[in-house]
Every structure is written in C-alpha cells, then in structure tokens.
Amino acid sequence: MHAINYEAPKTLKDAVALLAQYGENGRPLCGGTDLIIQLRAGVRRPEHVVDVKKIPELLQLSYDSKKGLRLGAAVPAIEVCENKDLQRHYPGLVEAAHLIGSNQIQTRASVGGNLCNGSPAADTTPALIALGARARVVGPKGEREVKVEEFCTAPGRTVLAPGELLVEILIDAPKPHSADAYLRFIPRNEMDIAVVGVGSWLHLDGDKVSAARISLGAVAATPLFAAKASESLAGKKLDDAAIDRAAKLAIELSSPIDDMRGTAEFRRHLVGVLTKRTLLIAAERARKA
Amino acid sequence: MDHKTVVETTINGERMEFLCEPRQSLLEVLRDVLGMTGSKEGCLTGDCGACTVLVDGRAACSCLMLGVEAEGHKIETVEGLALGSKLHPLQQKFLENASLQCGICTPGFLMSAKALLDHNPHPTEAEIRYALAGNLCRCTGYDKIVRAVLEVSNAKASKAA
C-alpha cells in the first residue's frame, strides 16, 4: 500500500473540514472492508484517510415508533443484524445486512459504507431503496437529504461531492400492515456477491395493496428503484396476475450484463423470480404487522 | 509521509504501545512489529479468514484493519488462547479431532470459533457452519473442524448441568 496520512476526527465539523481540505485526495474510512482492499490494489490512491468511526452522529442507532430509524453511517452491520427493533420492523434490511460477507466482515462493514462504496451489487442498498430510505449528507456548504435510489451514480460513484460525508440513513416509522423483504440469488449458501438482489416493501389495506416499492440490485450500473413495477400494484389485489405484471415491469427495467456470475438472460429471469418471492414474503409479513 | 504513529491498545489482556506507519494493517503490525506470527496472511482481501482476530470480542480480519485503528480497542489473537502450557478447550478439541493438517487456517478458525462460543455457547451445527463460513481450509474439508467446535460446546453443556 502507498503511504497514507491517517486522522480520526472526533466531531462531524472537523471531519467535514478535513475532507473539504483534501478534496479528491482524501477518502473517509469506515469499516475498511472495501477501502483497504482498494488502497492495497491501487484502485483508489488518496493520500489522506479520514477515519469516521469516532464521530458520535455516525455511530448512533435509534429507533422510535413515531420518528422511525436513524442509522448512523458507521454502525457496523452486525449491530443492525442483532438489533431487536430492526429485526421486528425492518426485517428486509436485516436480511440484507446479514448477507454482507462473513461474520468477520459484518463486524467492521457498515450499511452506510456499503452505500458509499457504490457497488451495483451491494445488498443493503436495494433494501434501503425498498424502504424509501433517505441519506443525510453533510458537507462544507451545509447539509442535504438524498433519496437512496438517487445516491449511486455509476459503479463506485455516488452523489457525494468532495468534502461531503454521509452522516446517517433515515427511514420512516413503519405503517401498520406494511413490511419489507430482501432476497438475493447466489449459487451457494454463503459468502458470495449477488447475481441479482431484489427488495420489496408493501403497505396493505385489507386484501389490497395501498403502496409498494420494489428495488433491484446487480442488474444495472446502479441499484434501481423499479417505479413502474411498484406503481402497478397500487390499489390492486395481490393476486397472481398483479404479481406477474409487477415482475414483468421489473424485468423490463433491468439492463444486466453477462459476466462470470451469470448471463444477462439468467439475470432477467432471476429479477422476475425474486420480485415474486419478495412480494409474497413482504405481504405475509405485512398482514401480521 | 512515512511517519510512525504511537498506538495504545490492549492485546490479549495486556496494555501495549506500538509504533507503526498508518498504511500498515493490524496483521502486519502483529506479525512484523510485535513478532506475533500466530495470525496468518492468506488472501489480504477478507475472503479466507486466516488473519482473524477478535476486536472488542468480535471476529474481524486483521488484514482489513489498519494498525492505527486498534487505538483504544481490545484485540485478542491466537497467542492469547492457551493459559501457559494448558491449551484452550478449542485447541484441545482441534488436536483430538485432527481438525488441522497444514495448520495455516487454524489460528483463524480458532478465533472465529471463540467469537461464536463467547456469544452463543451452544450453537447448532448449522450455526457453527455459518459462523465459520468466513474461514477457508483447503486440507481437512471442515467436518473435523465443525466436530471439534461442537464437542467444546457439548462439554460446556455437560459441565453446566
């Protein structure tokens, strides 16, 4: 690895000032499970690494039945997996966090870092999109909120300008009779990168869907919000015809590539299968929520 | 830029200070600075688990953590498992079950198994297999490793009864 300068500021203000000063020559360090590999491989070559794990705002995880979830950008995945409120109210997000690498990786990696790394195949990003999550970003010019589906702009790239830092992820409190689910396909049981990932969130009104959000991972340059597929379910009964139509619209949105993990054709097929399955799981959960 | 930093940490229960460059991983610090060569270098990408140590009681890849990040944390390595000449129950059961051949992966497996049993003293076989999924072994085929961990868990259960 090339020589780096390491700093671990204790306040958000100091972190933003350092990142603004370093610009493209600085990079925030969270769990390091992507960044340290990139530094070692020379894929990213910042001179300055700013450890953000000592900033209180980035470490907080709080759930309130009215205000919803505030998930600090540096909270490790393992804490998301073990949190009882999250297991109960955002099971799809927990499912996705549980799929990030091994226990060793989950100890260090965070949901916020997963988002900022900008991989199209990230597992937690589609789960966040399905939940309608927002990213709170603070930078030298102030702060802003970005919808998670607008956060990634290309593989490895995000909307963060030099000096900007993801502080936390915000998710609304769950409505009664709503729930989420996330599934990914990999050819083995553990430790792999998604061939396709799909997240679904449903809000039910009796036997009808009042709102739905479907998200897709690993089938385009960025994780996607499947707007047409989601809207097609609104006001409909969740029967086979409605589910098939949503799955078809999700497939139409996807633009996967052929690579060692699967062909584009197989990925399109998987989008349909996983859309159906996650909708059914989310519906089952929403009836009990 | 190659300046060294003083890092204060606790390793295997002992407070320690070391000097390292910011670019050095915790694994490099353990092996090259502190002479603790129990933790092994395998893939350097977080896939093989040979470098697994515990950070504040949780398994982590020491190759994916900078030495400077150990500041203020509690690190446990394979060197801290045995009490003098008395092997840790996991080490004893690994020996009895022949859960190792070349031995390169063993320190990592021991530390992952310790993290598991510290949090969940009586895991199912499936839980053991998932907890050890971040550790690769190219010799034994895992069954003997899983059996050793199960035996430690069962021995704890019979002692408690």
Mutate to test the interface with B, among A104, A106, A189 (most CBs of B within 10 A): A104
The reported pLDDT for the residue numbered A215 is 98
ipTM of the complex, rounded to two decimals: 0.95
The reported pLDDT for the residue numbered A155 is 97
* Beta-carbon separation of B61 and A104 below 8 A: yes
Set of chain B residues whose Cβ sits within 8 Å of the Cβ of A107 = 55, 58-60
Residue ending a domain, choose from B33, B51, B80: B80
Q: A178-288 falls under which CATH superfamily?
A: CO dehydrogenase flavoprotein, C-terminal domain (3.30.390.50)
The reported pLDDT for the residue numbered A268 is 98
Set of chain A residues whose Cβ sits within 8 Å of the Cβ of B55 = 107-108
Q: Where in chain A is the domain with CATH 3.30.390.50?
A: 178-288
* Beta-carbon separation of B23 and A2 below 8 A: yes
Q: Taking the model in full, what pTM does it have?
A: 0.96
Q: Which residues contact A215 (CB under 8 A, 6 or more apart)?
A: A125, A126, A127, A129, A130, A149, A198, A199, A200, A223, A224, A225, A226
What architecture (CATH level 2) is domain A56-171? 2-Layer Sandwich (3.30)
Shared domain check, B69 and B10: yes
- Taking the CA of residue A29 and the nearest CA in chain B, the distance in Å comes to 10
Shared domain check, B97 and B115: yes
Q: Which residue of A has its CA nearest to B128?
A: A103
Set of chain A residues whose Cβ sits within 8 Å of the Cβ of B63 = 36
Contacts A–B by Cβ distance under 8 A = 89
| DSSP character string of A152-191 | EEETTEESPPTT-EEEEEEEPPPPTTEEEEEEEE-SSSSS
The reported pLDDT for the residue numbered A191 is 81
Residue A89 to residue A65: CA distance in whole angstroms: 9
Instruction: Please indicate if any CB of chain A lies within 8 Å of the CB of B58.
Output: yes
Q: Where in chain A is the domain with CATH 3.30.43.10?
A: 5-51
Q: With a cut of 50, list the residues of chain B below it in pLDDT.
A: none
One digit per residue, the tens of pLDDT, for chain A of length 289 reads 999 999 999 999 999 999 999 999 999 999 999 999 999 999 999 999 999 999 999 999 999 999 999 999 999 999 999 999 999 999 999 999 999 999 999 999 999 999 999 999 999 999 999 999 999 999 999 999 999 999 999 999 999 999 999 999 999 999 999 999 999 999 887 788 999 999 999 999 999 999 999 999 999 999 999 999 999 999 999 999 999 999 999 999 999 999 999 999 999 999 999 999 999 999 999 999 9
In A67-153, alpha helices (H): 77-82, 84-89, 91-98, 103-108, 111-117, 124-130
Tokens of A91: 């099971």
CATH number of the domain encompassing residue B156: 1.10.150.120
The reported pLDDT for the residue numbered B104 is 97
Note whether A110 and A76 are within 8 A (CB): yes
- Taking the CA of residue B141 and the nearest CA in chain A, the distance in Å comes to 16
- Taking the CA of residue A81 and the nearest CA in chain B, the distance in Å comes to 14
